[in-house]
Amino acid sequence: MSELTHLTIAAALDGLAAKKFSARELTEAHLAAMAKHKNLNAYITETPEIALKQADASDQRRAGGKAGALEGIPLGIKDLFCTEGVLTTAGSHILDGFRPTYESTVTRNLFDAGAVMLGKLNLDEFAMGSSNKTSYYGNVINPWKRRGDETDLVPGGSSGGSSAAVAARIAMAATGTDTGGSIRQPAALTGTVGIKPTYGRCSRWGIVAFASSLDQAGPIARSVEDCAIMLGAMSGHDPKDSTSVEMPVPDFRKALTGDIRGLKVGIPKEYRVDGMSQEIDALWARGAEWLKAQGAELREISLPHTKYALPTYYIIAPAEASSNLARYDGVRFGLRVPGNSLDEMYELTRAAGFGKEVKRRIMIGTYVLSAGYYDAYYLQAQRIRALILRDFTDAFKDVDVILTPSTPSAAFGFNENEGDPVQMYLQDVFTVTVNLAGLPGISVPAGLDANGLPLGLQLIGRAFDEETLLRSAQVLERAANFTALPAGV
């Protein structure tokens, strides 16, 4: 039944509704595919028993005439979402054995909509990374390979398990989280679609926090329409999250009219960065032309503080993370390494429990908040963040969406971008501005590079205008007509 795993959510919902197959069959097909693609290491924990139980319950609901928006759809859940009774690791040793006694609001929403959980997806430790190399549970392998080259490539990060699983057809869609690009960059590197909604659209309650003012959940799926369906189910006001916004959730799928006549598309000149490949530049120009051909109007815009976004992010995100990760102390859950004193227990536990990149960021965050440096680093970064937001606010006076590349390169090998952490940080150069400004952004697969690897284009929308964003993304998607598949899938 491998064709079942190739369906989009929209097609699967139709098939389920038409009783062409059951949720159980759909789930079993995915479980079989998961067994075949274990080498990708996309899942940290597979939950076939839960999946089958949920699938059966879903079939019963459907038989009873009660079908939710995701009724019977098998999903992968990024292992940053707390799931009741199921091991939740955040890709870290420090959460050893942690089984939450609660369900995150987003996964609760998905299950309430009828979704089925196949398992918990691998990720960079605490969502810190752009390659999924920092997971305690090992690298995730991108199902895509360069033509004629068997070198394993990264699936992007931090939602690398999510992007690899969706690309490899071992989940119909997956949840991701995006703090600096962690949904859009892995989507771009795997030929999938990923949307980070506006900050406040999805509840953060029950998601292991990385950087609270930037973190936002969103889906990775195989089409813009599937993303719209997923996002609709994931979103909504949550009184348990003070930063969740009390706003009705639009019917995102309805927004996909295919009509972008008169849409004003901004092309920010500052995104033409040094060392950007000719291929990406050309793809970007092609994307603009596609939109223009559908009746959109192109406008060059300026986002003057773009170049400062990454270093700003590398102050704000580690600062918040250094505080958010203080709770991993060996007292109430997770790993404990014994010590002779309280401080020794803390220090040994945290030294053993956190990986290198997480430690590095905790150290940076601790440093920039410490006495004497707060004003120079943290406060300056907060001011520049305000300027970055102002850039966007000004730009959105003239345009409806902004088109940029998603990433500066296609997927890379595990040994590339090594050594200098800053090189790796540059992976998020196009995505991170969107988090700092709290805006929605989506990556759509737009073509293949010379090596046959997928490349993505990013659209950025106004705050809480995911509808326009999704509509333009779908037009882009149709024009790009990306149909390539990774080998072996």
Partner 1 sequence: MSLDSKTVAHIATLARIRVPESDLPGLAQELTGIMAWIEQLNEVDTKGVQPMSGVLARDLPRRADVVNDGGNPDKVLANAPEPAHGFFTVPKVIE
Partner 2 sequence: MNDMTNNKNLIEGRTGMWEMVLGLEVHAQVISKSKLFSGAATAFGAEPNTQVSLVDAAFPGMLPVINEVCIEQAVKTGLGLNAQINLRSVFDRKNYFYADLPAGYQISQYLDPIVGKGTIILDLPGGEHREVGITRLHLEQDAGKSLHDQHPSKTYVDLNRAGVALMEIVSEPDMRSSDEAAAYLKKLRSILRYLGTCDGNMDEGSMRCDVNVSVRKPGDGLGTRCEIKNVNSIRYVAQAIEYEARRQIEILEEGGSIKQETRLWDPGKGVTRSMRSKEHAHDYRYFPDPDLLPLNLDPKWVDGLKAGLPELPDAKRQRFIKEFGLSDYDAGVLVAEKESAAFYEAAAKGRDPKLTANWITSELFGKLNAAGLDITESPVSAAAVGELVGLISDNTISGRIAKDVFAEMFETGKGAAEIVEAKGLKQVLDTGAIDAEIDKVMAANVDKVAEYKAGKDKLLGFFVGQVMKAMGGKANPAMLNERLRAKLSA
Question: Interface with partner 2 by CB under 8 A: which residues?
Answer: 81-82, 88, 90, 95, 98, 100-102, 104, 204-209, 211-213, 239-243, 319-320, 322-323, 325-327, 329, 331-333, 342-343, 346, 366, 369-371, 374, 378
In whole angstroms, how close is the CB of 219 to partner 2 at the nearest point? 18
* Amino acid in position 19: K
What is the phi-psi region of residue 468: left when phi exceeds 0, alpha when psi lies from -120 to 50, beta otherwise? alpha
Residue 203 to residue 209: CA distance in whole angstroms = 12
Mapped to the 3 state alphabet, what secondary structure does 176-208 carry?
EEECCCCCHHHHHHHCCEEEECCCCCCCCCCEC
The closest alpha carbon to 245, from 201, 204, 206, 205, belongs to: 201
Q: How far is the CB of 104 from partner 2 (least distance, A)?
A: 6
Name the minimum Å distance from CB 333 to partner 2: 7
Instruction: Verify binding: residue 129, partner 1, rule CB under 8 A.
Output: no
* Candidates 78, 120, 145, 196; catalytic one: 78
Q: Which residue from 194, 193, 215 is spatially nearest to 206, judged by alpha carbons?
A: 215
Q: How far apart are CA 32 and CA 48, in angstroms?
A: 10
Answer for which of 282, 422, 450, 484 binds partner 1 (CB under 8 A) is 422
242 has catalytic annotation:
no
Amino acid at 284: W
* SS3 category, 77: strand
Residue closer to partner 2, measured from CB, 179 or 406? 179
Active site residue 235: no
- Asked if 465 and 472 count as a contact pair (C-beta separation under 8 A), the reply is no
Among partner 2, partner 1, none, residue 170 binds (CB under 5-8 Å by kind): none
Q: CB-side exposure of 43: number of CA atoms within 13 Å?
A: 26
Distance CA 441, CA 272 (A): 18
Q: Which of 104, 135, 158, 203 is catalytic?
A: 158
104 noted as active-site residue: no
Our measurement of the distance from residue 369's CA atom to the centroid of its chain's CA atoms, rounded to an integer in Å, reads 28
Q: Which is nearer to partner 2, 296 or 368 (CB)?
A: 368
SS3 (DSSP) at 213: coil
**Smallest distance, partner 2 to C-beta of residue 159, A:** 16
- Interaction pattern, residues 100-119, with partner 1; x per rule: CB under 8 A: -x------------------
Which of 78, 169, 336, 462 contacts partner 1 by CB under 8 A? 336
The alpha carbon of 264 is separated from its chain's Cα centroid by a whole number of angstroms, namely 26
Least CB distance to partner 2 at residue 185 (A): 22
Could you list the residues that contact partner 1 (CB under 8 A)?
97-99, 101, 199-200, 213, 239, 242-243, 245-246, 305, 307-308, 311-312, 314-315, 322, 326, 329-336, 338-348, 350-351, 354, 359-360, 362-364, 366-367, 370, 376-377, 379-387, 389, 420-422, 437-438, 463
Which residues are tagged catalytic? 78, 158, 182
